Copies of this chain bind each other. A is one copy, B any other.
Amino acid sequence: MAKPDVSYVKKTMAEIVGFISSAMEKIDDEQVERMIKTLIDAYNKGNKVLVMGAGRSGLVARAFAMRLMHLGFHVYVLGETITPSIGNGDAVVAISGSGTTRLIVTAAETAKRNGAKIIAITSYPESDLGKLADIVVVVPGRTKKAPPYIDYFSRQILGIHEPLAPLGTLFEDTTVVFLDGVIVELMRRLGKTEEDLTQKHANVEL
């Protein structure tokens, strides 16, 4: 039997890993510091953190929320059952690569009007979400709208620098890894160990 050709799996993985590595260098430490300070401030005062994102960005938001819960934050996810009211002193983490996802912009506006501090994670600081946010962390990515000139795989062969990974993938995967980095920084600052996280980790789960 011939060796199976699954080469696009690893080509894509290499592309994503390469993208994250170079994106990492572009993330601004001052912006990250402001985000972390706002989160720690909410933690210390027992205030709430609400995370939100549409589609795959919403899943990235949830992965972050789960670890914030393990760290002892009062964290909630937009659209889940037990999400309470938010207001003064609370923080919102809104994730949108394009910064234009309408329901997220609408929700962030409402949260801001209720007194919450908005942290936007986006590739476009000049977007609607970026502009309304109190703190913007720019995570490089690619918008969903790629020009449909020519066939997708041809672009690679022609050397047109369209990524293999479609739509928002590069932004989403970079943000997953970035937020996991933020978690470790939070662990260090709050003096939390992995054992502390394990104590909070769901023991009845799906």
Contacts and interface: CB of A to CB of B under 8 A. Distances in A.
Contacts of A17: 17, 20-21, 24, 177
A201 B107 CA distance: 15
Interface in A51-69: 52, 54-56, 58-59, 62-63, 65-67, 69
Given A103-B206, A153-B188, A176 B178 contact: no
Consensus secondary structure, chain A interface: helix
A22 to B, nearest CB: 10
Contact of A56 (B54, B66, B185): B66
Given A79-B206, A153-B188, A63 B56 contact: yes
B82 A75 contact: yes
A100 to B, nearest CB: 12
A81 interface: yes
A12 B177 CA distance: 8
Interface in A109-126: 110-111, 114
Given A77-B80, A166-B197, 14 more contacts: A6-B32, A8-B181, A10-B181, A65-B82, A66-B81, A82-B82, A83-B202, A83-B205, A85-B199, A104-B206, A107-B204, A148-B195, A152-B195, A153-B193
Interface of A: 3-4, 6-14, 16-17, 20-21, 24, 27, 29-30, 32-33, 36, 50, 52, 54-56, 58-59, 62-63, 65-67, 69-70, 75-87, 101-104, 106-107, 110-111, 114, 144, 146, 148, 151-153, 162, 164-167, 169, 172-173, 176-178, 180-185, 187-188, 192-195, 197-206
Q: Which 5 A-B pairs have the closest CB atoms?
A: A4-B33, A9-B181, A152-B193, A12-B181, A12-B184
30 contacts: A6-B29, A9-B178, A12-B180, A13-B177, A13-B180, A14-B24, A17-B17, A17-B20, A55-B66, A58-B79, A63-B172, A65-B81, A66-B81, A69-B81, A69-B82, A70-B166, A77-B81, A83-B204, A85-B200, A85-B201, A85-B202, A101-B205, A102-B106, A152-B187, A152-B194, A152-B195, A153-B193, A166-B184, A167-B197, A206-B206
